[in-house]
Each structure stands twice: as structure tokens, then as C-alpha cells.
Chains A and B, each alone.
Chain A
Amino acid sequence: MTAFMMDYEFKLKTQNERVKVEDLFNYEGCKVGRGTYGHVYKGRRKDSSDNRDYALKQIEGTGLSMSACREIALLRELKHSNVINLIRVFLSHNDRKVWLLFDFAEHDLWHIIKFHRAAKANKKPVMVPKGMVKSLLYQILDGIHYLHSNWVLHRDLKPANILVMGEGSERGRVKIADMGFARLFNAPLKPLADLDPVVVTFWYRAPELLLGARHYTKAIDIWAIGCIFAELLTSEPIFHCRQEDIKTSNPYHHDQLDRIFNVMGFPHEKDWEDIKKMPEHPTLLKDFKKSNYVNCSLIKYMDRHKIKPDSKAFHLLQKLLLMDPNKRITSEQAMQDGYFSEEPLPTQDVFAGCPIPYPKREFLTDDDQEEKSEKRQTQQQQQQQTQLPSQQQSQSQQLQSASNNDNHNNPAKRVRLSGQQLPGQVNSQNMPISQQTDFHQQHVMYNNTQQHNFSQRF
């Protein structure tokens, strides 16, 4: 072949100008995260021009996958204090790897909730400011409102993708991450459902998606935020459901719908008129009996978890988790909700200046890698969900009622994080049990003793 595709001089020149990630950063052995689309390392600059921590995400596979492409394209344009900031992109020509450089976020909601669940099971309360959940929710909504007003849908909101900054100038700031699934949604060029077989982890997936909705909407992100809010309030994934295989091309998922109805009750037609139009509506009618869910309601579920039906938190949750996507509240409306104008007001630092009780990210060794992969994370969550409470059978009414819903699970091996004393954990022997068992309760308790800490406000 005669044509030379690329000029040698040009190639040489760009090669010399190109900065390599391994020349700029130390990150070897510092893997802290493993998701479906990448490995995340904690890195420091080699030239120590600063000694901040950075997150380096190495995209799974080689070359520019569609999800890498979307993540780069969108993050290159987005700028908001609650959306993770893409600092730069490294293209490694030799091994064809793509690296994304971000600010390092010490925490994420998956780890935070896991920590609370473990503490709850061990009857060791966690000291967090009373307004922390509210601040987290407010900032999640703020970030999503920004995305939505720029015509970007996230589509994969779940605790693992909500990061929280550790000590430093942005202490306690929420950062929405993992835009790999995100896409622009005005004038989709193809029905969105055609592109990725499965998009959101089932637990956070809106009922209309499970019933085969072809197009993603803002309301789908809002549902996921409602799920995260409930999980923050109770430390339990509200729509926890066993799932064998995350990847499936069929959106309809019987067990997940069953779980939603078990919490929410079966949707009345008057509450969700368009449910008839859902592609999987016939399957729904065939598979489900309304009468099985007559005693279920969100009020009862949350009440079992000590969230009062007349609280502002509950009212907002109910609006986020409306079954009918058309009736679901928008992020903008949610931010105006009375919950956020009630004391304690949300703070920019979700920890409100208090000590951060959560452990720092641990480095994953090679053996861990598999175990901590996001696929496994969901399994772990399931195991904890069933194991932690059930190992302490009869210790608490409340825990029992929480685990009753899922005790059909197999008695899988218990996962790590048992026993060991974690930093920030407080010895609780002389605290009333009723106040130790629940994430939400713990805030109240903490607030009672440390009220003066909540001064920094939005």
C-alpha cells in the first residue's frame, strides 16, 4: 500500500509533547475502586507541585468505548460543584488505555451506608450531624438539577456513584460521578432502550423502566434519588431484591416489581393512569395479584423504620417515589420542598464541621479486586442485608422487621467488615438501644448533644 496514513514528523512531535499518566502520577498499587467500566486509583503528582490526592480512572478495555466517549464528552462540558470535575484525559497510545483524572473523593454513599449498616448490626452508633442526610439529598438534587437543565440524564444513580469529598477545601461536598451511562436526552437519535440492554442496577430502577418504558426521562433519575434518600434514612436499600444476573436484555423483572409493590402497594389505576400504556402491562396483569399487596404502603414501610409519616422527610420521599413518572416531583421542585427550610438547614459540608466518622478508602489488593467489583458489591449488599440482621436474631424488633422482607435469601458467606473497630466508631454501651439501631435515629441523638456544631449553612 502506498498511502502513508500519518506523517512521521507529526507523529514524533505529538509523541514528544504527549504527557504520560505514569510520568505525572504515582498510583501503582493504589487501586481504590473497581466498577463495571473502570479501575479507579488514588494518585499523587510525582513532581509534588501539590500534594493533593487525585483519582485516576482507567477505563475498562482498550480504546474508546461508547461509554468512555460519553463520559468524556459530557464531563468536558459540565461544571457544577456537585458534579465530579474531570481535570484531564490521558490517552495511552501503547496499550490503548484511556485514563481520566478527577479530584479524589474520599467517600461515597455505598461505603457510608455500608458503614452505618455494620454499625447498626453491631449496635454501635455513628456520630453524624443531624442534618447530614438532608444535606446529602440537597446536594444530590442540586447536581441533578444542573444535569437535567443541561439536557443530560444520569441514568445510573445509585449510592456507589454518589461521592463525598473528604478533608480539604471541598470537605463534605457531594459529587455525582460515573457519567458513563449519562446521555443527552433531547432529540434522541435512537430509542434509548436500544442502546444498552440494561442501564440502572435494578434496585434503583423506576417502575416504568421495569415495565418496558422505551425512553429515559428525568423522572427515572428522580426515582433513583428517592431510593437513595430512603436508604440514607434507614440504612437499607428500600427496594432490595435478589438478582442473579445484572445484565439482561429484558427490562421486565418480576422480583423487582414484586419488591416495589411490597413496599409501595400495588399501583391503582387512578394513581397511574398511563400504566395501561406500558409495554409490559399485560405481563404485569398476568403475573401479579393486586390483593397480595393490600396491606403494603410506603407509610407503613417507613414507619417500621422509624420515619414518621407526618415528618417533612417522609412527605418529600413520597413525592420522589411516586409510581406515576408524570406525577413525580422534579429536582427543582424538590429543592424548594419544606424539608429543606426546616431546621437543621442543609450545609455545604454535609459533615457540618464535625469529625468524619467513616474510614478512608482502602487500597484493593489483587485478590480483593474481584470481590470488590461492582457486580459483587450488589451481592455483598444482599448478603449484608440478610446476614447482618439475621445473625443477631431477636436482638431488636426493628431489625427483625427490616429483615423479614428479605429472609428468603440463601445463607451466603458473611462478608468482611465484621468485628474490627472502625475509626470514628463510638463505644455506645450506655446509650439507649432504641437510639442506636437506626441511621436516622443516630442523627437525632447526635444533634441532642452537639447542637452548636450546625452553623455552616447554604
Chain B
Amino acid sequence: MAGNFWQSSHHQQWLLDKQDLIRERKHDLSILSEEEYQKIFIFFSSVIQTLGEQLKLRQQVIATATVYFKRFYARNSLKCIDPLLLAPTCIFLASKVEEFGVISNSRLISTCQTVIKNKFNYAYLQEFPYRTNHILECEFYLLENLDCCLIVYQPYRPLLQLVQDIGHEEQLLTLAWRVVNDSLRTDVSLLYPPYQIAIGCLQIACVILQKDQKAWFAELNVDIEKIQEIARYIINLFELWKTYDEKKEIQGLLSKMPKPKPAQQR
């Protein structure tokens, strides 16, 4: 579907606007501050990234899983489904869509167990509590909430083209690619089309490497304001990271996070 972003469900249904996000998050933001909310999403993006790497998935699959995750909570409160369950479910679904093949259920669960135990024990003291049947049930809810829109366009492909156009620069590509990965920890994938995100990330990479590509950027026929907005989201993330110690704070944040409730006792 690479030829057809403009007709895609991604373009037509899943480029949200800022006001939408604020409205949908009202409930969660009555409990968490905006920064706390973002920190929780940074954490689960890392969980998805780590799971994906452990499962040897390509970055494209990991990115798609992350976007599914963000899309679900763009429409639902964090309390609706435990994000610790939704994260591996997104991986499971994305790997099927992105042609990786079906990850075996037992491998997925055991990977979750080891990853939580070895890499995220600073956040979770207990072991990973879910089993295959939970993932499968959750998958139906996820698919429903995504409105069956499963093909997600990512900035990686346009980024490759842009860097090629600048003139093959390994260092620039590597850095810009990492900035795109970082951008998954922000809301940009919900708000902007992937080629704009690619340009925004490339611009940041150029600034970091102190490459003056102003003339080249000026020639791109894009909405510069949008690119600046994207860059701002990412720079804000970098700012936040400077002072944020996830290992110290995350347990507190997770316990403060709104959680699923069982049926009311009668």
C-alpha cells in the first residue's frame, strides 16, 4: 500500500487533531498530569521496543505496534485495558500484519516474562501476569478499536528517500533513523503524516550534526510550520529526558495510573 497514503485509512481516519487528543484524554488527565501521562507512554513504548527486539522483529513492525498502542489509548482511557497486556497484544497483531509471520503464543508469553523480569524489574515486582488467552481476547478489542485499520505508514521509507536525495550520508541516516524511533515516544504519529515526521526528524539530525541543509530544506515543498511543530515535540522529549529518571519514578506513576476495575460488588 506504499503508493497510496492519501487514500489510506491512516490518512483518512487516523490523523487526529490536537483538540481531539485533549478531549479524549480528559479522564486520564484528571488523575495524571500531562507530563506523567507522557512518561507512562514513554515507558510502554520502551516495553514494546524491547519486546520487539527480543523477538527479533524489524523496526517497522515495532513502530506499527507502537502506533496501534497509541491509537487505542487515543480513543480510550488507560483504565480500559491494562497497558501491560495491550503492549504485547500490539506486537502480536503487528507482526501478523507486517508479514513477519505469526509469533507463537508460548514464545510471546515467555518473552514477556523474561523481558519484564530482566529489563523492567524496576517497574514490576511481580512476574508478567497474562497468558495466551488474555492476549487473544485483548486482540479482538484492539482490532475493534482500531476500526480494522491495520496498515500504518511509517516515516522510515520517506526518510530513506530524503537522505538519499541529500546525498548518501551514513551518519546522517543513522542519527535521523534514531530520532524517528524516539519520535514514537511522542504524539507525532497520531497527528502528522509520516513524510512530515521524516522531514522533522531529519532536520533535528542535521542540527545535531551541525550540517547546514537550510537551502535543501527550503526547496522541499512542505508546510514548514508543521515541520517545526514536529521538531518541537521531539525536542520537548529530549528536554524531558534530561531530568527524568524512569527507574526512580515509574513505580509511582504506574500505581497512580487509572486501572481496570472489576464488576461492582453487589
Contacts and interface: CB of A to CB of B under 8 A. Distances in A.
Interface residues of B, number: 49
Contacts of A64: 93, 96, 139-140, 143
A66 interface: yes
A10 B2 contact: no
B38 to A, nearest CB: 22
A76 B99 contact: no
A173 interface: no
A9 B102 CA distance: 31
B129 interface: yes
A86 B77 CA distance: 30
A151 B1 contact: yes
Given A7-B79, A151-B2, A73 B97 contact: yes
B129 A3 contact: yes
Nearest to A91: B140
A150 B3 contact: yes
Given A5-B82, A9-B261, A66 B102 contact: yes
A195 B99 contact: yes
Nearest to B130: A5
Among B138, B140, B261, the most chain A Cβ lie within 10 Å of the Cβ of: B140
Contact of A8 (B102, B140, B261): B261
Contacts of B137: 5-6, 93
Contacts of B149: 76
B107 interface: no
Given A4-B259, A187-B60, 17 more contacts: A2-B126, A3-B85, A5-B82, A5-B130, A69-B93, A72-B148, A73-B150, A76-B148, A77-B9, A91-B143, A93-B137, A150-B2, A151-B1, A152-B1, A184-B151, A187-B157, A189-B98
Nearest to A89: B148
A141 B144 CA distance: 33
B144 A91 contact: yes
Contact of A7 (B7, B80, B126, B134): B80
Interface SS, B side: loop
13 contacts: A5-B138, A7-B259, A66-B101, A73-B150, A76-B151, A77-B8, A77-B151, A96-B140, A150-B3, A183-B99, A189-B58, A189-B99, A190-B100
A78 to B, nearest CB: 8
A187 B100 CA distance: 12
B144 A18 contact: yes
A5 B151 contact: no
Contact of B138 (A6, A66, A70): A6
Nearest to B150: A73
A295 interface: no
Contact of A10 (B61, B79, B97, B157): B79
A14 interface: yes
Contacts of A432: none
A233 to B, nearest CB: 32
A91 B8 CA distance: 22
B82 A4 contact: yes
B161 to A, nearest CB: 12
Contacts of A79: 7
A77 B9 CA distance: 6
A97 B81 CA distance: 22
B260 A7 contact: yes
A285 interface: no
A188 interface: yes
B136 interface: yes
Contacts of A76: 9, 148-151
Contact of A63 (B4, B100, B139, B263): B139
A14 B75 CA distance: 13
Interface in A175-212: 183-184, 186-190, 192, 194-195
A74 B141 CA distance: 19
A5 B8 CA distance: 32
B99 A6 contact: no
Nearest to B97: A73
A65 B137 CA distance: 14
Contacts of B151: 73-74, 76-77, 184
